[in-house]
A and B are shown apart, each in its own frame.
Chain A
């Protein structure tokens, strides 16, 4: 994705740190009501500030909702608790389990939206550059990551090529489970081998141009940071403060790890 909208102008590394901070805050809240309120923050940002096409927003919303149900279910149906509603084999539906399940579900939703905002508003290249420039990721690793990101589309090509090669040699379509597993290997090994060859070529090309991965270098493209990043953090902090205050006033909040 490109650096999109207002949030796209923020410094990617600081944006990641900010999101990480509020995600940690969510993990020490253990009641569904507060979790739900706090989940609304990234949700509202997603729907108002990203300016994505409605179709993408809709499909994202539905798929996230599905994951929300799955993770709520994982505690509602298998959770510990006193008030047992229904029990069968190892399924164990309880009131406490459902409450914890909802907390985890909303936490999951919030994490998903924070991740979604990050991915949709951040160009991977500027992200890696900013990790290097602000968070002191070693250039050796940063440039390796940049090369790796560029390889992602190439792997799709590679996959198509392997498939074509199989077809030319008359490898028939897998039907049984055994054959499917064999097919997985038939793809994995050449894909890895090609990846390793490509990695070697890139490394030699980099070294040939005098790249030594040290800090003894300058940057053609610098990723700035400034008051906008602070504002983003403060606005989120205020929103969280208000909602947590509201929940405390209503007596709903419960701190602690679930």
Chain B
């Protein structure tokens, strides 16, 4: 089980998770748009939800590249179901995924605890801001709105992405469907074997 490359089972799992998340993202977009754009920054706290695919997939499969590819697949799923941000979702997905992946690379794919997952969320936030500054004119907003956006989105991503992602996966793991994936098999003794 110490292979570095993804096998077909893991690839399909990544894509299915990503596409499910993509559908959720799609449902999320109008709510966010309305809440955020009207008051300037009120939606930023929950923006982190858009990075959750990479957290969920990487936390389950624990191999290089999963975080990036999951976010890419999620954004394609979002695009194919008709995202209002059009083709820029692909770019957002790529940069958010790269951010998350960079953190994993820094810890050499060895640690998978909550601080690392939260670090991934923050790095993905940084990636998302690159797109916002390049395409959506964030640099021209007032300093107050810019600062509030950055603070709220970063703090929010810790909870809505890092913590929530880990929590969801841990709950799913309890159902037993993940027993053959790295999240369970990498433990010295599996949950279900403790007596």
A residues apposed to B, CB below 8 Å: 16, 19-20, 23, 27, 63, 67, 70-71, 73-75, 77-80, 90-92, 96-97, 100-101, 103-104, 107-108, 111-116, 118-119, 124, 127, 140-141, 144-145, 147-149, 151-152, 155, 185, 188-189, 191-193, 195-200, 202-204, 206-207, 211-213, 257-258
Contact = CB atoms under 8 A, between A and B. Distances in A.
A80 B138 CA distance: 10
A23 B178 contact: no
Nearest to A27: B135
A126 to B, nearest CB: 12
14 contacts: A27-B135, A74-B40, A75-B137, A78-B141, A79-B142, A100-B140, A115-B86, A144-B8, A144-B11, A148-B73, A188-B168, A199-B13, A200-B180, A207-B8
A236 B84 CA distance: 22
Given A97-B140, A202-B12, 9 more contacts: A74-B40, A74-B141, A141-B15, A141-B73, A151-B19, A152-B77, A196-B13, A200-B9, A213-B11
**Shortest 4 CB-CB distances between A and B: which pairs?**
A115-B86, A203-B9, A144-B15, A199-B16
A80 B86 contact: no
B131 to A, nearest CB: 10
Interface in B95-144: 134-137, 139-144
Interface of B: 6, 8-9, 11-20, 23, 33-34, 36-38, 40, 56, 69, 73, 76-77, 79-88, 134-137, 139-145, 148, 168, 171-172, 175, 177-178, 180
B136 A71 contact: yes
B165 to A, nearest CB: 11
B178 A90 contact: no
A23 B135 CA distance: 10
Given A78-B142, A206-B8, A195 B16 contact: yes
A90 B177 contact: no
Contacts, number: 175
Nearest to B56: A192
